[in-house]
Amino acid sequence: MDTKKIIEQACEWIVDFFEHNGKGCNAVLGISGGKDSSVAAALCVKALGRDRVVGVLMPNGVQSDIADAQKLVEHLGIRNYTVNIKDAFDGIVSAIPEELALTEQARVNLAPRLRMSTLYAVSQCCNGRVVNTCNLSEDWVGYSTRYGDSVGDFSPLSHLTVTEVKQIGRELGLPDELVDKAPSDGLSGKTDEDNLGFTYDVLDKYIRTGVCEDEATKALIDRKHEMNLFKLQLMPSFEPKF
């Protein structure tokens, strides 16, 4: 990949998006301290200038790696706000009737959905457009929360693999500890690769070349891809024939 060329194209694309979908508006995004939000923020800064990028830190109570998110906003010099979602999270969990027996997966997915609601609230308060920070590798296997981190107003990384996002982060001069940080959802206590059952290196190679040496892993990737395609599509709607 010609990293410099892709960065130039991405920045031009971001500028064009704002020209047509919010001239003069700000880019608003959640900052987790991981590579995706770091690279997305850095691209927006390069394209729009730091004065038009707003970072939102959204711990759920105590976040063990919140210092990484703070390092990123300080490195980029962007305006930022911290909104702790714990009260909202606990309020919803406690309000769900006991007979529904809130599942662990529902609990895990609740936090990113609350964070996206928070991002849109902040965005509406500061003339913003919300940045989606998902990458192609995550989207390929459905590793995102529908109506949580899977949405936004524009997405600069959704056609770039994890490997490619890292290359861009290094080219943009982001701190190595953010670019190379083991990816994690920050919710389940496991890394992405633990949850997926394969590495991003294996997945990225398969996406770009169609090659996966281990048949069991190939079958697992294919199954996840097929099961989660609906997340990338618009909601089906009935069309009456009058």
pLDDT of 234 strictly over 90: no
Query: What's the rounded mean pLDDT across residues 93-117?
Result: 95
Round to whole Å and give the CA distance between 192 and 203.
12
pLDDT at position 204 is 97
Query: What's the rounded mean pLDDT across residues 36-59?
Result: 98
Query: What's the rounded mean pLDDT across residues 66-71?
Result: 95
Q: Say if residues 35 and 183 touch (Cβ distance below 8 Å).
A: yes
2: left (phi over 0), alpha (psi -120 to 50) or beta: beta
**What is the band of 188 on the pLDDT scale with cuts at 50, 70, 90?**
low
DSSP state at residue 132: P
- Statement: the pTM of the whole predicted model exceeds 0.75: yes
Domains in the chain (CATH in brackets) are 3-232 (3.40.50.620)
**DSSP helix/strand/coil, 55:** strand
Q: How many CB atoms lie within 10 A of CB 90?
A: 12
For the chain, the average pLDDT equals 94
**What is the band of 186 on the pLDDT scale with cuts at 50, 70, 90?**
low
Round to whole Å and give the CA distance between 54 and 63.
20
> DSSP characters for 25-47?
PEEEEE--SSHHHHHHHHHHHHH
- Nearest residue to 31 via CA among 127, 136, 175, 149: 149
pLDDT of 115 strictly over 70: yes
Q: Say if residues 19 and 120 touch (Cβ distance below 8 Å).
A: no
**What is the band of 189 on the pLDDT scale with cuts at 50, 70, 90?**
low
pLDDT at position 195 is 85
pLDDT at position 60 is 95
> DSSP characters for 194-207?
HHHTS-HHHHHHHH
pLDDT at position 233 is 86
pLDDT at position 183 is 73
What is the token pair recorded at 64?
């063990």
Q: Say if residues 125 and 34 touch (Cβ distance below 8 Å).
A: no
DSSP state at residue 29: E
> In degrees, to the nearest 5, what angle opens at C-alpha 37 toward C-alphas 32 and 41?
125
pLDDT at position 187 is 58
Pick the range with the lowest mean pLDDT from 111-125, 210-224, 226-240.
226-240
Round to whole Å and give the CA distance between 192 and 109.
14
Query: What's the rounded mean pLDDT across residues 133-143?
Result: 95
